[in-house]
Amino acid sequence: MPVITLTIDDELISGREGETLLQVIKEHGISLPTLCHMEGLSERGGCRLCIVEVAGSPRPLPACTTPAREGMVVRTRSERLENYRRMLVELMLAERNHYCAVCVSIGHCELQRVAAEMGVDHVRYEYLSPKLTMDLSHERFGLDHNRCILCTRCVRVCDEIEGVHTWDISGRGVKSRIIADLNRSWRESGTCTSCGKCVQVCPTGALFLKGAVVGEMVKDPTMLARVLEGREKKEWEG
Ligand code: SF4
Ligand code: SF4
Ligand code: FES
């Protein structure tokens, strides 16, 4: 792939044509907060935490869905960006019921880590406190809508890696929900293979292994990379 040159945070940096800004930024050791992004899955650009300022663009752009181009001038940190990112995290926390103290993922939750890194110690918005249910119908896994941030990692891993497309999103805005097979209970899903990939990629305590108690739900961040590497090496053939 041809090499391109960009300016990121006042430094001349090289990347390859076809890469996203996020890829180039990460390759150069600059950290950006991300939640919907996951290596090995398609990009959705939904959480907006990876926004950057690009010269010539009137609004910040998500680095994960913006192609890196020759001559781009990009800024990853500014007061405006920090304010936006903080607001986005606060809105995520206010939209559902994130009671970390009683969550299976406390201490291992990506939303909690991102909030801590940004110094979010309070939320300036009114909590919506929706009355949401849990789906505990699956033999081994549970879904708690209260913890879901609609990142769609579960939808994408099930569709793109497991190849069955059990999950989807129904509704719009604050009424959006993750649903299995056109709104059946997880147990009634005719497509789920019980592989557990969706549970492992979920950044919060929304998808979890049944039996896990507070703080016990540790996800395996290497799972997806191992699956993809195995496929590349055709480890399951022959
Ligand atoms: S367990 Fe596997 S097949 Fe079932 S919903 Fe999750 S990713 Fe899809
Ligand atoms: S259940 Fe988890 S992986 Fe799926 S959209 Fe919600 S937070 Fe994301
Ligand atoms: S990580 Fe880029 S928009 Fe979510």
pLDDT mean by block of 10 residues, the chain; 238 residues: 94 97 97 97 97 97 98 98 98 96 96 97 96 97 98 98 97 95 95 97 97 93 91 78
Same domain, 51 and 31: yes
The CATH number of residue 45's host domain is: 3.10.20.740
d(CA 62, ligand 3 centre) in Å: 6
Residue nearest to atom 3 of ligand 2 (CA): 202
Q: Is the CB of 193 under 6 A from ligand 1?
A: yes
Q: Is the CB of 162 under 6 A from ligand 1?
A: yes
Spell out which residues line ligand 3, taking CB within 6 angstroms: 34-37, 45-50, 62, 64
Q: Which domain holds residue 60?
A: 3-77
Same domain, 38 and 60: yes
Instruction: Tell me what pLDDT residue 232 has.
Output: 87
The CATH number of residue 110's host domain is: 3.30.70.20
Q: Which atom of ligand 2 is nearest to the CA of 167?
A: 4
Same domain, 112 and 144: yes
Same domain, 93 and 68: no
Query: DSSP secondary structure string, the chain?
Result: --EEEEEETTEEEEEETT-BHHHHHHHTT-----SS--TTS-----S-TTEEEETT-SS-EETTTSBP-TT-EEES--HHHHHHHHHHHHHHHHHTT--GGG-TTTTT-HHHHHHHHTT--S--S--------EE--SSSEEEEGGG-----HHHHIIIIIIS---EEEESSGGG-EEEETTTB-TTT-SS-----HHHHH-SSSSEEETT--TT-----TTHHHHHHHHHHTTTT--
Domain boundary among 58, 77, 96: 77
Give the mutation target among 20, 21, 36, 66 for probing the ligand 3 site: most ligand atoms within 8 A of CB: 36
Residue nearest to atom 2 of ligand 2 (CA): 202
Q: Which atom of ligand 1 is nearest to the CA of 186?
A: 5
Task: Confirm whether 131 is domain-assigned.
Answer: yes
Rounded Cα distance between 47 and 37, Å, is: 8
Domain boundary among 49, 77, 105: 77
Domain boundary among 52, 77, 102: 77
Same domain, 97 and 188: yes
Number of domains in the chain: 2
Same domain, 144 and 106: yes
Instruction: Tell me what pLDDT residue 1 has.
Output: 76
